Amino acid sequence: MDEKLERAQLMARFKLMVKRTLSQTVDLERLGREPAYARERLAEIEEAALDEELLIMVLRLRDLLLPAPEPVVVVAPAPVVITPVEIPRESPKETRNYMMGARSW
C-alpha cells in the first residue's frame, strides 16, 4: 500500500509542478497506463524543464513507469574450425639409375 501511495503522491506533485513551471498539463491516467505516452510526454517535459527538481521527478517517474529496456545480447557465431586435410603421400616411385647405361636395370 505504501508503494501505491508514494507513486500517487509523486505523480500528483509532478502534475502540479509541470502546470506551475511550464503551464502545461499531464494526463496522469495515460501516464500510468500507456508507456508510449509516458515516454513521449516525459521526454517533452525533460527538454522544456529549467528546474532541477522537475528534472529529478521526470527521472524518478521514468524509472517507475517505464520498464527498463532489455539488454541486447549479441550471440557470436560459433568459430569455424578448419581441420587440416592430410594429403595421402604416394610411395616413392622406383627410379632408374642411368649411371651404368641403358641396360643397367
Residue 105 has pLDDT above 60, yes or no: no
Q: What was the pLDDT predicted at 53?
A: 92
> Dihedrals φ, ψ of 95, to 5°?
-105, 155
Residue 94 has pLDDT above 80, yes or no: no
- Give how far the C-alpha of residue 5 lies from the chain's centroid of Cα atoms, to the nearest Å: 32
d(CA 34, CA 92): 81
Q: What is the pLDDT of residues 15-45, one digit of tens each?
A: 999 999 999 999 999 998 999 999 999 999 9
d(CA 59, CA 80): 46
